[in-house]
Structure 1
Amino acid sequence: IFSVEKSLTKRRLWKPAEEEVSERAALQICSSTKKVVCRTYDVQDPKSSAKPADWKYQSALSASWLALSCTVNVNIHIPLLATSPNHDLEKNTKNGLNRWSKQIEDSVFLINGQVRGDDTELLEGQKKSKGATQSGTHFFDVKVLTQLSQGSSHRSTAAVQICSGSINLKGAVKCRAYMHNNKPKVKEAVQALKRDIINTLCDRCEILFEDLIINEAPHKKNFERAYHVLPQRLFVPIAGSSVMLSDYKFGDEATEEIQERFVEMLDQSVQTKDIHIAEDIST
């Protein structure tokens, strides 16, 4: 658990909130006796020991989720310093995404066209029938307004650096977050959506770089201009739930490969009709 948390924290471009729970649960199920053992660990304390925890099953819990979705237009310019060895694309890209993630953190989020107070309940003033589907899922349409420039209260500095190239990330990404229907606050919903926006772009860049390392021709010159399409996002429903899982695919990746991946990861068979491609190939 501590190793997984350390790996996730290393890649993460957002910081956990001060009031965020630092405990993680480990669930063990014996396949023969069906005995369930649950323990929790405080990942902020490497010396913490396992604490026993109760595990209770609740009916219809997986259907009680609220969904927030948005489309974010991305246009990020990342300079490559001439002093950077072999351009170090991955490191430079992460630095550029880190600056962009701060813009997302400072953005204004309109929920169903309105600015909502952080401490108000997400469902406050919402009619039960509005935005709900037959499955009972309540959807919120979110618009993200990014600040173009900082206010006069923020001081900024300019630096002149010699660059030998640049990376441009352009397109529109589809983002989604789920909140449990138990009086969630607006700030919790916005926080979850911010994290999905940041995570999805960072994950795609990481997947692309891994693919380039494996498949790129070794003789390719650094100064050549190249265009690469980031993996497309897709959503797959979880059986018996209104929540959908997220995954990614390259344009030349077959549907069978996606289905095999879900069987390998979750032991879940996915029908072709249930694979929802969220974005166009030009994204």
Structure 2
Amino acid sequence: MGRTYIVEETVGQYLSNLNLQGKTFVSGLLIGQCSSQKDYVILATRTPPKEEQNESPKHPKAKLDNLDEEWATEHANQVSRMLPGGLLVLGVFIVTTLEMGNENICLFLHSLLHSTGVCFLLFQLVFAVEKSLNKKRLWNFTEEEVSERVTLHICSSTKKILCRTYDIHDPKSSAKPADWKYQNGLSASWLSLECTVYINIHVPLSATSVSYTLEKNTKNGLARWAKQIENGVYLINGQVKDEDCELLEGQKKSSRGNTQATNHSFDVRVLTQLVLNSDHRSTATVQICSGSVNLKGAVKCRAYVHSNKPKVKDAVQAMKRDILNTVADRCEILFEDLVLNEIPEKKVMNSEKEFHILPHRVFVPIPGSAVMLCDYKFGDESAEEIRDHFIEMLDHMIQIEDLEIAEEVNTACVSSSVNTEASLDNTDDEQPKQPIKTTVVLKIQQNIGVIAAFAVAALAAGISFHYFSD
């Protein structure tokens, strides 16, 4: 028996209403959450057409084998930034058209296509998307987590749906049948977790190797910081709970015996261990540095879990991943902006000290849902630009008044070796006199794969804990 996918009814309506506009196919992403028993799909979004295709209305019909894999994976990368903790790109879909008059012939050819061309296309696409997303993650899937991803093929002529899954850990895996079931009101059955994380991360930039770029230094540093977040202690509504307990344990039950969440939002606080355990040796390392990067500020984090008997460990895992994702995404966006504005890395490092304002997080609700997605904006970006980016990436209409801009003040300081010592001593007290306001509009046309990261280097004796939350 294959996996079961519980799908919000509005997703089915969206897929049915997709207009092929004379094309042979339209592809896109399926978004939701995995669980041990079943998966939940709450959103589908088509991959936007390229600009040159929009500008050429007489563009010839695209063939199935002409699907732009690089374009589709870049769209997946952009959309993954917009997902809070707990939500993932679960797979891909493709809608094809078969202009056949005879229903039986159409069904036969549909089955034949799925077993050859379309099936192979979906196989390639789902593995390419997962491989691209995995490169950016600061965390790894656990052995207990579901490793199957879904592919959905819809025939626009017959509305017939074929749902299959592949094991992303096995490139040679064969397709397995899966159930695709619609359910009304699925998007309302979610619990939210919120947390404010305060960070002051210092990353030394190595000068001992010419091959160590700013990107590589910061990425390595952030990987070390990520271990602190992974090993932290998480308080839910001020309590430490056993990870195998149900998140809603102690909640009142209705007359039907179902658990009712009297509070759909949980406050999370993070305790992080600043150094290794006492049974591990901690040694200082002398390193020749050309400069440093310091990331300082507060970030708003949010995660969601489905209300069907969620465990504490599921909620904590979703929050951990949102913390790691949002910090890495902000850094990546800033470095992309430096590239877009043609500010070379050498120029940044030759400056004695530069301050950059990191983007703020913006939340927006999915229409008719308790779940909110997110995006990032710099100070001089308008609400209209953010709305347009949501529409472009997610293919869903949103209202400007629904945008919720998180109250955050974050800066990134890049210092050269001229003033490295001062930077190390004064990072807590010094404030940017005139921050550089960088501007970025996250359009898929940029297609830039710059990954940036930051790290904490903590060398001290003994064990101490530090609140990273209100």
Q: Equivalents in 2 of 1:79, 1:221: separation in Å?
A: 15
1:228 alignment partner, one of 356, 370, 380? 356
1:56 equivalent in structure 2: 181
Q: Equivalents in 1 of 2:399, 2:409: separation in Å?
A: 21
Q: Equivalents in 1 of 2:231, 2:155: separation in Å?
A: 46
1:271 alignment partner, one of 394, 399, 413? 399
Deviation at 1:156, TM superposition (A): 2.2
- Aligned residues of 2:193 and 2:303 also touching (Cα < 8 A): yes
Q: Equivalents in 1 of 2:247, 2:326: separation in Å?
A: 23
| Structure 2 unmatched runs, 5+ | 1-125, 253-259, 412-470
TM, length-normalised to structure 2: 0.57
- Opposite residue 182 of structure 1, the aligned amino acid is N
Matches within 5 A, 1:175-214: 175-214=301-340
1:146 equivalent in structure 2: 272
2:202 equivalent in structure 1: 77
- Aligned residues of 2:198 and 2:297 also touching (Cα < 8 A): yes
Matches within 5 A, 1:114-129: 114-127=239-252, 128=260
* Larger deviation, residues 142-151 vs 61-70: 142-151
Counterpart check, 1:244 vs 2:372: yes
Mark the CA change 1:217 to 1:11 in structure 2 (over 3 Å): closer, same or farther: closer
Cα deviation per residue 1:177-224 (whole Å; 9 max; x = unaligned)? 100011111011101110110011111111111110110445835231
- Aligned residues of 2:297 and 2:408 also touching (Cα < 8 A): no
Cα deviation per residue 1:22-77 (whole Å; 9 max; x = unaligned)? 00011233344333221101000000122221100012111100101101101111
2:446 equivalent in structure 1: none
- Opposite residue 294 of structure 2, the aligned amino acid is N
- Opposite residue 117 of structure 1, the aligned amino acid is D
TM, length-normalised to structure 1: 0.92
1:161 equivalent in structure 2: 287
- Aligned residues of 1:67 and 1:179 also touching (Cα < 8 A): yes
Deviation at 1:155, TM superposition (A): 2.1
Q: Equivalents in 2 of 1:39, 1:221: separation in Å?
A: 48
- Aligned residues of 2:363 and 2:405 also touching (Cα < 8 A): yes
Q: Equivalents in 1 of 2:348, 2:406: separation in Å?
A: 34
1:65 equivalent in structure 2: 190
Deviation at 1:86, TM superposition (A): 7.9
Counterpart check, 1:101 vs 2:226: yes
1:91 alignment partner, one of 216, 225, 233? 216
- Aligned residues of 2:200 and 2:296 also touching (Cα < 8 A): yes
2:299 equivalent in structure 1: 173
Equivalent residue of 1:227, what SS? strand
Mark the CA change 1:9 to 1:217 in structure 2 (over 3 Å): closer, same or farther: closer
- Aligned residues of 1:78 and 1:96 also touching (Cα < 8 A): yes
Equivalent residue of 1:222, what SS? helix
Deviation at 1:281, TM superposition (A): 4.3
Equivalent residue of 2:308, what SS? coil
Equivalent residue of 2:373, what SS? strand
Deviation at 1:6, TM superposition (A): 1.0
Percent identity of equivalent pairs: 69
2:141 alignment partner, one of 5, 12, 16? 16
Tell which structure's C-alpha radius of gyration is larger.
2
Equivalent residue of 2:355, what SS? coil
Q: Equivalents in 2 of 1:202, 1:84: separation in Å?
A: 24
Deviation at 1:266, TM superposition (A): 1.7
Q: Equivalents in 1 of 2:242, 2:370: separation in Å?
A: 27
1:110 alignment partner, one of 225, 229, 235? 235
Q: Equivalents in 1 of 2:286, 2:311: separation in Å?
A: 44
Equivalent residue of 2:198, what SS? strand
Deviation at 1:256, TM superposition (A): 1.6
Equivalent residue of 1:146, what SS? strand
